[in-house]
C-alpha cells in the first residue's frame, strides 16, 4: 500500500488569495467575469467621452474645437473601443459569470487560459489610446485616422497610429479567440448531468454560436491587418493598386469579419433577453427550439452577407443581387425571434422592473435598427444612403440600443445575484428613461440628416444640417451624462443596499437562481442534476 497522490487538473477551485494578487492570478470564473465587466464599463466611458468630443465639434457648422485629423482619430478609436473593448468584453464578462452557473459547471473548462484571455485586454486598450499621448510629446501624429475599418490606401499611408491599432486589434483578437475556445469547451464538456444541449439556457446557445463565429472570422481579420502591416513596412502590395494590389480585397477581408462581428456583439444579448422576458412575464419562454434554430440560421447567414457594406464599391450586378437578397434573408429568422419574444410576454403576468423596462425598450429600439438595416440592404436605395448619417443612426440603433442597452438589461437583471444587494429601483428606472429618450433625441435627427445627404466622418457640414446636429449633440450629452448615473447605481449596489434573496426575481428560472446571492466562491457544493 503506497501513498498515492492524484492531480486531475490545475487546482483553481481552492485557491482564494486576497488583495491585488487575487485579481492578477485568479482563475475563478466569477472574478474574471467581474474584471471583464469592470474593464468594459471603464472603456465604455472612455469611448463615450471621445464621441462627446466629436458631438461638441458638430454642435455648430464650422471648425470650433479640433482639427479634422484629430476629429477622424477620435471617430476611429471611439468605434474600436466601443466594439472591441466595451461591448465584446461585457458579453464575455457575462459569459464568464453566468455560463458555468447556468449549465451547472464548477468553473470554466480552461481557467488559466481564461485569466490570460482577460489580461491581454488592458495592454491592447493602452496600445489603442497611447498614440494620442505620444502625439502630445511630439512622437507620431496621433491615433489612426482611418475610421475603424482601416481602409487602404489611407491606412497604408497613415502614421504610427495605424501600427498601434493593428497590434491592438491582434491582441484583442487573441483575447477573443481564447475566450471563445474556453466557452466552446466549457459548454461542450462541463455541463451538469442531464443538461443536454436542447435543455441549455438560451444564453448558452447565444454564446456558443458567437464563439463559432469568432473562431471562423478572427483569422480573416488577423490576416487582413497583417497584410496591411506588410504593405506599410515590408514593401508588399496586397492592397496597393500602384503595385498591382487590390484595395477592394481589403474591404472583402475586413467585412468578412466585420459583418459577423455585428452578430458576435448581438447573439449573447439575444441569448439572455428571452430569459429576462420569461422572468418578468412569469411564464415559460415561448418557442425555445424555434429561437435556437433562428440563432443558428442567423449565425450561418452572418458569414455570407459581408459585401452589403460596400455595395457602392463597384461589384458585378449578380453579386449585388446575391448580397442584397441574402442580407434581406436574415430578417426572416430575426422575425421569428421577435415573434417569440413578444409571444413570451403575451398574456404574461408582467411587471416592469428596470431589467424588463430595458428589455422592452430594447425590443422596440432594436426593431428600428433592424428595419433601417433592411432599407440599407436594398442595393438601389443604398446608393443614396451609403456613407451618410443614415448609416450611422442605423448601426447605433443596432449596437447601442441592441447591444449596450441589452447589456444594461443584463446588468440590472444579474447585478443583485452577483453582488448580493438590490440596486436602487427608482434610480434604475430613471436611468432607463434618460437613456431611452436621450438616445432617440441623439439618433433620430441623424436619420433625417442622413436622408438629406449629410456624409459621415466630416468635422464640418452644410448649414442646412445645423438644427438637427444641434439637437443630436444635446441628446448625446444627456445620454453620456446619464451613464454616470449607471456607474453610480452599480457602485452603490456593490457597496451595499437591501439584501437580495437567492432567487432575486419572482419569476426567475434556471440553475443560477438556486445558488445564494452572491454565489459562493466555488459555486455548487452539490452537483446539480437537470431533469
Partner 1 sequence: MLSICETQCITRPNASASTESVCKLLLSLLVFSGLIALAFLHVGAWMVLPFAGLELVLVVLAFVVVLRHSGDYEKITFVQDQVEIEQSVLGEIKHVRFLCYWTRITLREGENGKTSLWIGSHHQEVEFGRGTMDNAQREQVASHLKRILLKTK
Q: Which residues bind partner 1 (CB under 8 A)?
A: 1-11, 13-17, 104-106, 109-110, 113, 177-178, 181-182, 184-185, 188-193, 195, 212, 215-220, 222-224, 226-227, 230, 238, 246, 249, 252-253, 256, 303, 520, 522, 525-527
Q: Which is nearer to partner 1, 16 or 233 (CB)?
A: 16
Cell 422572468 locates to 279
Q: At what angle do helices 405-419 and 88-103 cross, to 10 degrees?
A: 50
- Separation between Cα atoms, residue 185 and residue 107, nearest integer Å: 11
Q: Give me the least distance between CB of 264 and partner 1, in Å please.
A: 15
Q: Which is nearer to partner 1, 101 or 192 (CB)?
A: 192
- Separation between Cα atoms, residue 326 and residue 305, nearest integer Å: 6
Q: Give me the least distance between CB of 106 and partner 1, in Å please.
A: 7
Q: Which is nearer to partner 1, 62 or 193 (CB)?
A: 193
Long-range CB contact pairs, 131-135, < 8 A, 24+: 131/73, 131/159, 131/160, 131/161, 131/164, 132/73, 132/77, 134/160
- Separation between Cα atoms, residue 423 and residue 154, nearest integer Å: 47
Q: Peptide bond preceding 153: is omega within 30 degrees of 0, i.e. cis?
A: yes
Q: Which is nearer to partner 1, 138 or 318 (CB)?
A: 318
Q: Which is nearer to partner 1, 14 or 137 (CB)?
A: 14
Q: Give me the least distance between CB of 391 and partner 1, in Å please.
A: 26
Q: Which is nearer to partner 1, 315 or 381 (CB)?
A: 315
H-assigned helices in 60-153: 68-80, 88-103, 111-119, 121-136
Q: Give me the least distance between CB of 227 and partner 1, in Å please.
A: 5
Q: Peptide bond preceding 196: is omega within 30 degrees of 0, i.e. cis?
A: no
Q: At what angle do helices 29-57 and 88-103 cross, to 10 degrees?
A: 150
Q: Which is nearer to partner 1, 17 or 284 (CB)?
A: 17
Compute how many other C-beta atoms are within 10 angstroms of the C-beta atom of residue 312: 14
Compute how many other C-beta atoms are within 10 angstroms of the C-beta atom of residue 335: 12
244 conformational bin, left if phi > 0, alpha if psi -120 to 50, beta if neither: left
Q: Give me the least distance between CB of 217 and partner 1, in Å please.
A: 8
Cell 495592454 locates to 123
Q: Which is nearer to partner 1, 48 or 179 (CB)?
A: 179
Q: Give me the least distance between CB of 125 and partner 1, in Å please.
A: 22
Q: Give me the least distance between CB of 117 and partner 1, in Å please.
A: 12
Q: Which is nearer to partner 1, 68 or 106 (CB)?
A: 106
- Separation between Cα atoms, residue 435 and residue 429, nearest integer Å: 10
Q: Give me the least distance between CB of 484 and partner 1, in Å please.
A: 38
- Distance spanning both ends of the chain, measured CA to CA: 41
Q: Give me the least distance between CB of 211 and partner 1, in Å please.
A: 10
Q: Give me the least distance between CB of 394 and partner 1, in Å please.
A: 27
Cell 458569414 locates to 303
Residue closest to 28 by CA, chosen among 39, 15, 9: 15
- Separation between Cα atoms, residue 10 and residue 25, nearest integer Å: 13
Q: Which is nearer to partner 1, 252 or 343 (CB)?
A: 252
Q: Give me the least distance between CB of 396 and partner 1, in Å please.
A: 29
Q: Label residues 449-458 b or e (16+ Cβ within 10 Å = b).
A: bbeeebebbe
Q: Which is nearer to partner 1, 300 or 466 (CB)?
A: 300
The C-alpha R_g of the chain, in whole angstroms, comes to: 23
Distance, CA of 399 to chain centre: 7
Q: Give me the least distance between CB of 331 and partner 1, in Å please.
A: 24
Q: Which is nearer to partner 1, 272 or 306 (CB)?
A: 306
For residue 25 the three cell numbers come to 492570478
Sorted by sequence, the CB contacts under 8 Å of residue 232 that are 6+ apart come out as 155, 156, 162, 163
Sorted by sequence, the CB contacts under 8 Å of residue 227 that are 6+ apart come out as 236, 238, 239, 250, 253
Q: Which is nearer to partner 1, 141 or 246 (CB)?
A: 246
Phi, psi of 185 (to 5 degrees): -65, -40
Q: Give me the least distance between CB of 318 and partner 1, in Å please.
A: 17
- DSSP, residue by residue, 245-257: --HHHHHHHHHHH
Amino acid at each position: 500500500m503506497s501513498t498515492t497522490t492524484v492531480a486531475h487538473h490545475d487546482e483553481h477551485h481552492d485557491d482564494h488569495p486576497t488583495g491585488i494578487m487575487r485579481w492578477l492570478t485568479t482563475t475563478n470564473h466569477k472574478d474574471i467575469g467581474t474584471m471583464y465587466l469592470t474593464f468594459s464599463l471603464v472603456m465604455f466611458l472612455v469611448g463615450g467621452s471621445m464621441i462627446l468630443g466629436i458631438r461638441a465639434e458638430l454642435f455648430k457648422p464650422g471648425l470650433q474645437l479640433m482639427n479634422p485629423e484629430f476629429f477622424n482619430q477620435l471617430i476611429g478609436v471611439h468605434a474600436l473601443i466601443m466594439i472591441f473593448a466595451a461591448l465584446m468584453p461585457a458579453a464575455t464578462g457575462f459569459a464568464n459569470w453566468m455560463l458555468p452557473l447556468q449549465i451547472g459547471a464548477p468553473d470554466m473548462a480552461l481557467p488559466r487560459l481564461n485569466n490570460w484571455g482577460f489580461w491581454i485586454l488592458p495592454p491592447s486598450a493602452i496600445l489603442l489610446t497611447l498614440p494620442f499621448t505620444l502625439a502630445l510629446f511630439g512622437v507620431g501624429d496621433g491615433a489612426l485616422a482611418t475610421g475603424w475599418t482601416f481602409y487602404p490606401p489611407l491606412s497604408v499611408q497613415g502614421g504610427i497610429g495605424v501600427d498601434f491599432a493593428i497590434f491592438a486589434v491582434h491582441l484583442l483578437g487573441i483575447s477573443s479567440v481564447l475566450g471563445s475556445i474556453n466557452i466552446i469547451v466549457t459548454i461542450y464538456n462541463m455541463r451538469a448531468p442531464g443538461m443536454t444541449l436542447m435543455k441549455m439556457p438560451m444564453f448558452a446557445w447565444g454564446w456558443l454560436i458567437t464563439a463559432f463565429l469568432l473562431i471562423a472570422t478572427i483569422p480573416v481579420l488577423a490576416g487582413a491587418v497583417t497584410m496591411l502591416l506588410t504593405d506599410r513596412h515590408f514593401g508588399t502590395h496586397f492592397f496597393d493598386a500602384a503595385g498591382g494590389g487590390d484595395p477592394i480585397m481589403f474591404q472583402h477581408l475586413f467585412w468578412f469579419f466585420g459583418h459577423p462581428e455585428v452578430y458576435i456583439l448581438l447573439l449573447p444579448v439575444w441569448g439572455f433577453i428571452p430569459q429576462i422576458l420569461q422572468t418578468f412575464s412569469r411564464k415559460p419562454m415561448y418557442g425555445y427550439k424555434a429561437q435556437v434554430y433562428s440563432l443558428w440560421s442567423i449565425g450561418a447567414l452572418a458569414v455570407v452577407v459581408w459585401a452589403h457594406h460596400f455595395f457602392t464599391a463597384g461589384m458585378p450586378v449578380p453579386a449585388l443581387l446575391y448580397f442584397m437578397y441574402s442580407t434581406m434573408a436574415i430578417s426572416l429568422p430575426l422575425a421569428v425571434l421577435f415573434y417569440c419574444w413578444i409571444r413570451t410576454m403575451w398574456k404574461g403576468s408582467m411587471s416592469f422592473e428596470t431589467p424588463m423596462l430595458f428589455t422592452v425598450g430594447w425590443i422596440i429600439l432594436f426593431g428600428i435598427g433592424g428595419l433601417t438595416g433592411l432599407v440599407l440592404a436594398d442595393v438601389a436605395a443604398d446608393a443614396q444612403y451609403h456613407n451618410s448619417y443614415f448609416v450611422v443612426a442605423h448601426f447605433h440603433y443596432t449596437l447601442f440600443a441592441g447591444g449596450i442597452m441589452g447589456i444594461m438589461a443584463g446588468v440590472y437583471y444579474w447585478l443583485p445575484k452577483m453582488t448580493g444587494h438590490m440596486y436602487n429601483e427608482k434610480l434604475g428606472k430613471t436611468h432607463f428613461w434618460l437613456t431611452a429618450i436621450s438616445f432617440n433625441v441623439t439618433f433620430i435627427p441623424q436619420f433625417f440628416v442622413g436622408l438629406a445627404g449629410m456624409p459621415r466622418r466630416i468635422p464640418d457640414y452644410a448649414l442646412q444640417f445645423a438644427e438637427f446636429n444641434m439637437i443630436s449633440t444635446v441628446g448625446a450629452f444627456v445620454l453620456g451624462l446619464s451613464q454616470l448615473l449607471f456607474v453610480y447605481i452599480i457602485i452603490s449596489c456593490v457597496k451595499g443596499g437591501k439584501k437580495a434573496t437567492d432567487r432575486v426575481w419572482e419569476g426567475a428560472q434556471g440553475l443560477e437562481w438556486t445558488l445564494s446571492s452572491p454565489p459562493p466562491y466555488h459555486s455548487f457544493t452539490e452537483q446539480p442534476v437537470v431533469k
